Structure 1
Amino acid sequence: MKISQIVVLFLVILAFPFLLGAQQLKENEVVVISGEKYILHQVRTGETIFSISQHFEVDDSELIRINPKIKQGLKIGDIIKIPFTEGVDLANEPVYKKGDPTSFEFHTIESRSETPYFIAKSYGITIEELYAYNPEVKKFRKGTRLRIPLWEEKAIAEQEPVGKNEPVLLETESSRSNDLITHTVKSGETLYSIARQYNVTESEILFYNPDARQLKAGTKIYLPKSVTENTTSAPVLEQSSKVANYFEHIIESGETLWGITRKYDVSENELQALNPFLADGFPAGAVLKVPAKDAEAKNIQPVNEDAFIKHEVEKGETLYGLSAKYDIKIPEIKKYNPVLETRNLLRGETVLIPRRPEPEITEFMAERKADVESVQEVENKETPGELLTTPDYYDVKIPSELPVAVPESCQPRQTSWNSFETYQIALFLPLFQEANDTLNKVTEFPDSDSLLLENEEITDDVVAASELDTFVEEVVKEDMFIGFYRGSENFVQFYEGVLLAVDSMQQAGMNIELKVFDTQQNADSVRKAVYSHDFLETDLIIGPVFPNIQNDVADIAAKNRIPMVSPLSAQTNKKQNNPYYYQVNPDRDYLAVKTAELVAEEYFNSNFIVFRTSNYQGTAEGRLVELIQEKLYNSGFMGKSAGVSFSVYDFEHDGPFGLRRILSHNKENVIYIPSSVEGELSIGISNINNLADEYSITLIGTSRFPQYESIQIDYFHNLKMEYVSPYWVDYKKPSTINFIEKFKSNFYTEPDNFGIQGYDVTFYFLNALKNYGNDFRDCLPYLQVDLIQGNYQFEKVSQFGGYMNQGVSVISYQRNFDVVRKRVEGQLHLATN
């Protein structure tokens, strides 16, 4: 055997525990590894180290040496290597092997006293068997439903060994083939999508395939034939004869095939079937055909027929074209056609375009809205009911098929299931407790006269500094406060927000034990906390906040499947390969993409100007310029008379007076300054503001702009600044008002952004724990939590990585000095019962 073949084979052997659900092991196969013969054996029910060593005629110490993990005990389904002994009869199956169960019964845990040992003993099985046939159960809680394997003597004698992922309900292989069908998982498919495809519940799939929670392409799973007799192996799209069954997407730089499958909920095979060119790569600029789902072809109906134009989409039409034709922003079209939030237009479908209402209707709606707001302001609360709801001229009826249905596995757990469970929460913050205590101590020195009176022989000439220290009296005044050490005030506020969230969840009946670790800014202080046995019992980790000291915590979290939340840092690569890592702050690249979308969707027919103050090539700001230019080009309106004009204005070269020459009186002038230097931004914005009364100008900024003290806030209003931000606080919302009052009454200060962030992050993830347990990853898109400043929507960032919040808002500064949130992006429209 060639060396390369041996290496490949060895790697395959190492990967067997992870591939077990994806392929069936050939029982007791003999392989050669590094010139030595080994038997690959899958541990079956009833086997022990002693029984295996006896059957295969090998010393048990040698078995442990080659497979060191079995020191902790054998696990059903594990693959182990056994030294091959000549003359061993591999065809002779040992009588102690029970094989797979012939059937199951169910047991529901009714009290905390029902431990795994208690349950196993009650049914005459081993603990290993109980765990092996309930792999999805992480903790044995009240209300948990368990499978209890049963064996019949006749079936044990007849049954052939099968792989771990085979169905185990039926007595013989022949009866399996009559009652079950096989489905091979395709790339991009999920448990939920397969359940919908075959019209079964997720629980039914998991019953036959306990390992199906973590699906991999190529894995074979088994489904009841009775529910799939009229179902093909691929989904059938029920489309109208005139509606196309695909839409088009232009591949943009930075996009990946995996990202597109996630974005549009399709598989790679489905995309490749419509786009043969994908076999040669994933080229930017190519037009990709994406299959549309059947529910998305349904048309919504207006309540008021006169309020909308019904436009039937023709071949080649785009959202940009409809926006230009009807003089309406693309976000407005999406608002009344929710399916367009997740895909582009389908040829033949009907799109609702809101008409501009008559002046009388506009006046009536404005008066009615003012009446409602005045009543709510007096009552200082949201007014429920229909009588005071503002009538909407543009109300529509959305078919029940359109909102996203919550999968069965993501329905919130009943309160009784976790009422007796205590959740262990670890919080890592740089509070600098000792430094703050020292900083706020007041040290008083007794005057020299008192020293001489008490020590008459001591004079100023002979008192050394070290001796004088013995007379220093430290006095700590509780009512005196000097300040916070370094930037720890922000993290104290964050901690206070955490405490309020914990208190809210405890009042809701959740038992929480919060452990706080002062990390300072030292990785050693973190290691002391995480490398302990007790820490492995943690249910949720929040922090550390600095990426450079997250390494040890992230490693422990990944190895032990503990969800870890990075609450503040936005620039970290840890989310790329840690499936239990959650980044709350979207990174700069994502915000740049959403900003480019804002410009392209709302200003594709504007006069776009890059206001150059210095060289921006190779910077993050320069990357945004490239993204905007690419999206404007893909709109099809770049350079056209009715489309966008794109120009770069060199402020250093042309000075403040040249800008007037490229501004337009006929189009909206959209200006972006690719710089993060406050001085450059201040000078540039000041010069642009001088022209705000003569031209209609929109400034594209970032969430950092309002923090620059050298820029007058009225400039942002004059220039109608817009930016994309993950945070927005509605100070008129009753829940926000209540939170601020509660914060002030507990901590005697107003909450800043850190205090609000501490509350939002903790409140959100505690709700995730309460509703779904520790493994809440796949259910976060369906978690609806009322937060103060965030709109979280966590999405997977890579195939084997973690999650990042992609819920953002578009913030707009108005010329009447209001600051409003124009819209929220990234949230699902969930179906209600």
Structure 2
Amino acid sequence: MRFLIIICLFFQVLTTSAFGQAYQYHTVTAGETVYSISKKYDISQETLLKLNPEAKEGLQVNAKLVIPMSLEQSENAVKKAVSFNSHKVQKKETLYSLSKEYGVSVEDIKKYNKQLYSKELQNGETIQIPVFVVDESTPEKVIIAEKKERPTPGKVIIEERNPEVTNSKPSAQILKTREHIIIPKETKYGIARKYGMTLKELEDLNPKVGVLQPGMMIKVGTNVLNQPVVITDDAFEFYEVQPQETMYSLTRRFQVAEDSLVALNPALKDGLKWGMILKVPTKDSKGNKLEDVAGLGEKPMPTSELTKMDLSKNLKNFEPKNLVLMLPYNLSKIKNDSVSNAKESIQKDRVLRLSLDFYSGALMAIDRAKELGISTNLRVYDTQNNSGKVSQTIAANNFSNVDAVIGPLYQATSEEAASSLVNLNVPVISPITNRELKALPNLYQSRPSDDMLREAMIVFLQSNSQGKNVIIVADGASSAIKAKLVSAIPGARILNPQSNNITESSLASVIDKSRENWVILESENIALLGSATSALNRLARNNRITLFTTYKNSTFESDAVTNEHLGELSFHFPSEYKEFDETVTDSFVEAYKNKYGYIPNKYTVRGYDLTLDVLLRLAAMGSIEESVKANIITEYVENKFLYKPKSNGGFYNDAIYIMQLNKDLTLSVAK
């Protein structure tokens, strides 16, 4: 329904009062077919495929299918319940917890509260819990624990990484020392580098030494490196590696390729360690001073510690904002169709549904900005998901006074828009794609890439794993990320699975009962993830175990990995967005529900968050580029934004959430 409302806003021609059909969702389980599902709901296979055209390519386990509900079906279903218990939903209650409390299935609750098929459980709402007659002949659906075959135990290689040597802190004790006489222009950084020490180790050996003076004698270690202690070229400087840093973050920070950084610092071949003193550039490839490394000896400020700014309280420029929205509607195909054909077109076209979701959120953001005194001149163009159409649209219209372009959605069309507008210096904000975009000076990637998600989790693990028993479980296909984890957490233990299986006994052999155990699981193999999470869930009954991954791939959503197990293990993963807390009143969510009758999905919320952020940056800072220079984090309903310049041109969003799945299967931001 909401899609037709949105099309009305776009075309001003379609009606929204046409549909009386009710629908529900069916989650596909293993072994189900189009035929079996159509029989289950007493509909034809043709109807099922018409509503779910993607099912023609085959059914995927856990996929959600749209199923029509007849009035007769609803009435028959109600007759199966003897009575009802009225329940007022409390904070943090879920359908799952209520099903356990009342001894009914989640589907039973939804069946008698049909609004729950289209929206989530709301704090404070009253729902009806059915009470059934205990009758084995009743056709009511019951939840049966799926019997899983016990995996065949495979060999597991246990690789000890010397648990006594961790990355929690650099060693503060040098047993053997020698004397070093200071020469002109020497610094503590250079001396520590020469003798393979950390700055803290050098200062601990010489607690009374302040400013170095030529001729002064100090104590140093005996591990002399063939490295200069003085830098005479102002293109370089010494830098002390901080606890949360990795090779990836250092290459970003100093705008240098990894192999070049290793060439400057041969010791990096043995891995990056906290406290190392590195030789780093102070200028980029064009000879420009790197402003963000002016204080090279200072600890870089983690994203989590940067100042979050509420731009709505810092508005200065109230001139109307000229905004262009470029999305792949492809609406020319349905503009003159009947309402029923329009509905069918929407159901078949996932890109159109996504575009309309995003567009509806953007409209709500424009309304919110108007409430703050910011008016918007909005122009909307249909890109038809075609790069040629994008360039034609830009060539045929005047973009000289445009403040920002949001869209197009995907990589090729975003790059084409930025390339076509680069001479006008019009910022193009790519809203959805997480692929690495071309280095164009006016192109802003608002969604972090998968590599950035992994990097954020590595930084989180490195910064918070001190004192924990860290265990890395990674298959052969994950060797690259495994190497990065080992470099970041050198004290971690490694379990190398074979035959895509991890047994409970192998995991138990590296679990430490005296402290917290952090298990990092890296794989896309269903069998490995299933065996690992099941075994860890059993071990968690008597041990403190938390599960992590640097990238939550789709395999974590498979039947082999149950959410209950992940919840018990407080599963942590990186994400570019957080799910909004439905227990907390939010003006956007409430306004959207009142307008469309639905809770907004993540694409709608992204449309709102991104559009509002762009408008507020323009009103508070004057331009998108000036807002980037301010180095601020902005945060809205589900998304946050911290744009940083790429070394070769363009900007990327470096704001990432570390999420955790709680035991009640709710999500929260990890602390």
1:93 corresponds in structure 2 to: none
2:356 corresponds in structure 1 to: 492
1:695 corresponds in structure 2 to: 543
3-state SS of 2:399 partner: helix
Residue identity opposite 1:629 in structure 2:
V
2:240 corresponds in structure 1 to: 248
1:622 corresponds in structure 2 to: 479
Match of 2:572 among 692, 713, 722: 722
1:279 & 1:717 partners in 2: Cα distance?
A: 43
Asked whether 1:581 is paired with 2:443, we answer yes
Match of 2:639 among 787, 790, 794: 790
Match of 1:428 among 326, 350, 373: 326
Give a deviation string over 1:141-172, Cα, whole Å, max 9, x none: xxxxxxxxxxxxxxxxxxxxxxxxxxxxxxxx
1:774 & 1:787 partners in 2: Cα distance?
A: 19
3-state SS of 2:385 partner: coil
Match of 1:681 among 529, 532, 538: 529
Give a deviation string over 1:761-816, Cα, whole Å, max 9, x none: 00001111112223534545455645111221111121x41211111222223346
Give a deviation string over 1:432-463, Cα, whole Å, max 9, x none: 323455786548xxxxxxxxxxxxxxxxxxxx
Contact 1:669–1:697 (8 Å) recurs in 2: yes
Asked whether 1:590 is paired with 2:452, we answer yes
1:405 & 1:485 partners in 2: Cα distance?
A: 38
Contact 1:562–1:774 (8 Å) recurs in 2: no
User: Which has the higher mean CA deviation after the structures are superposed, 525-534 or 482-491?
Assistant: 482-491
3-state SS of 2:529 partner: helix
1:632 corresponds in structure 2 to: 489
Any gaps of 5 or more consecutive residues in structure 1? 1-239, 263-274, 292-338, 344-401, 444-475, 639-643, 824-833
Give a deviation string over 1:303-338, Cα, whole Å, max 9, x none: xxxxxxxxxxxxxxxxxxxxxxxxxxxxxxxxxxxx
3-state SS of 1:536 partner: coil
2:435 & 2:334 partners in 1: Cα distance?
A: 28
Alignment of 1:126-137 (within 5 A): none
Contact 2:472–2:493 (8 Å) recurs in 1: no
Alpha-carbon offset, residue 533 of structure 1:
4.7
3-state SS of 1:600 partner: helix
- Judged with a 3 Å threshold, the aligned counterparts in structure 2 of structure 1 residues 502 and 603 are, in CA distance, closer, same or farther, namely same
Contact 1:510–1:770 (8 Å) recurs in 2: yes
Contact 2:272–2:488 (8 Å) recurs in 1: no
Alpha-carbon offset, residue 431 of structure 1:
2.1
- Judged with a 3 Å threshold, the aligned counterparts in structure 2 of structure 1 residues 760 and 439 are, in CA distance, closer, same or farther, namely same
- Judged with a 3 Å threshold, the aligned counterparts in structure 2 of structure 1 residues 412 and 821 are, in CA distance, closer, same or farther, namely closer
2:473 corresponds in structure 1 to: 611
- Judged with a 3 Å threshold, the aligned counterparts in structure 2 of structure 1 residues 750 and 404 are, in CA distance, closer, same or farther, namely closer
Contact 1:671–1:697 (8 Å) recurs in 2: yes
1:508 & 1:654 partners in 2: Cα distance?
A: 56
Contact 2:574–2:657 (8 Å) recurs in 1: yes
3-state SS of 1:776 partner: helix
Asked whether 1:760 is paired with 2:609, we answer yes
Q: Which has the higher contact order (CA 8 A, sep 6+)?
A: 2
1:413 & 1:662 partners in 2: Cα distance?
A: 53
2:380 corresponds in structure 1 to: 516
3-state SS of 1:665 partner: coil
Alignment of 1:32-111 (within 5 A): none
1:554 corresponds in structure 2 to: 418
Asked whether 1:542 is paired with 2:403, we answer no
1:101 corresponds in structure 2 to: none
Alpha-carbon offset, residue 497 of structure 1:
0.5
- Judged with a 3 Å threshold, the aligned counterparts in structure 2 of structure 1 residues 404 and 651 are, in CA distance, closer, same or farther, namely same
Alpha-carbon offset, residue 593 of structure 1:
1.5
Residue identity opposite 2:594 in structure 1:
S
1:827 corresponds in structure 2 to: none
2:511 corresponds in structure 1 to: 663
Alignment of 1:176-255 (within 5 A): 248-249=240-241, 252-254=246-248
1:741 corresponds in structure 2 to: 590
Match of 2:277 among 259, 265, 288: 288
Give a deviation string over 1:480-519, Cα, whole Å, max 9, x none: 9983523422221111000011111122222311111222
Supply the RMSD in Å over aligned alpha carbons. 4.2
Alignment of 1:233-632 (within 5 A): 248-249=240-241, 252-254=246-248, 259-260=253-254, 278=264, 285=272, 287-288=276-277, 342=301, 415=316, 418-419=317-318, 421-436=319-334, 441-442=339-340, 483-574=347-438, 577-612=439-474, 614-616=475-477, 621-632=478-489
Alpha-carbon offset, residue 713 of structure 1:
1.7
Contact 2:415–2:437 (8 Å) recurs in 1: no
Residue identity opposite 2:486 in structure 1:
Q
- Judged with a 3 Å threshold, the aligned counterparts in structure 2 of structure 1 residues 679 and 278 are, in CA distance, closer, same or farther, namely closer
User: Which has the higher mean CA deviation after the structures are superposed, 803-812 or 780-789?
Assistant: 780-789
Residue identity opposite 1:342 in structure 2:
M
Question: Of the two, which has the highest radius of gyration?
Answer: 1
2:533 & 2:336 partners in 1: Cα distance?
A: 44
Give a deviation string over 1:221-267, Cα, whole Å, max 9, x none: xxxxxxxxxxxxxxxxxxx99888997217853455672389xxxxx
1:724 & 1:760 partners in 2: Cα distance?
A: 19
Contact 2:502–2:532 (8 Å) recurs in 1: no
- Judged with a 3 Å threshold, the aligned counterparts in structure 2 of structure 1 residues 765 and 707 are, in CA distance, closer, same or farther, namely farther
Give a deviation string over 1:706-753, Cα, whole Å, max 9, x none: 97152322111111211222212442685x521111111222221000
3-state SS of 1:493 partner: helix
- Judged with a 3 Å threshold, the aligned counterparts in structure 2 of structure 1 residues 532 and 807 are, in CA distance, closer, same or farther, namely same
3-state SS of 1:551 partner: helix
1:486 & 1:403 partners in 2: Cα distance?
A: 37
3-state SS of 2:368 partner: helix
Any gaps of 5 or more consecutive residues in structure 2? 1-206, 213-237, 281-297
Contact 2:573–2:658 (8 Å) recurs in 1: yes
2:493 corresponds in structure 1 to: 645
3-state SS of 2:326 partner: strand
Alpha-carbon offset, residue 660 of structure 1:
3.1
2:300 & 2:335 partners in 1: Cα distance?
A: 52
Contact 1:720–1:813 (8 Å) recurs in 2: yes
Residue identity opposite 2:353 in structure 1:
E
Contact 2:400–2:424 (8 Å) recurs in 1: yes
3-state SS of 1:534 partner: coil
2:657 corresponds in structure 1 to: 809
Contact 1:593–1:624 (8 Å) recurs in 2: no
Contact 1:412–1:772 (8 Å) recurs in 2: no
* Identity value in percent: 18
Residue identity opposite 1:741 in structure 2:
E
Give a deviation string over 1:22-60, Cα, whole Å, max 9, x none: xxxxxxxxxxxxxxxxxxxxxxxxxxxxxxxxxxxxxxx
User: Which has the higher mean CA deviation after the structures are superposed, 650-659 or 535-544?
Assistant: 650-659
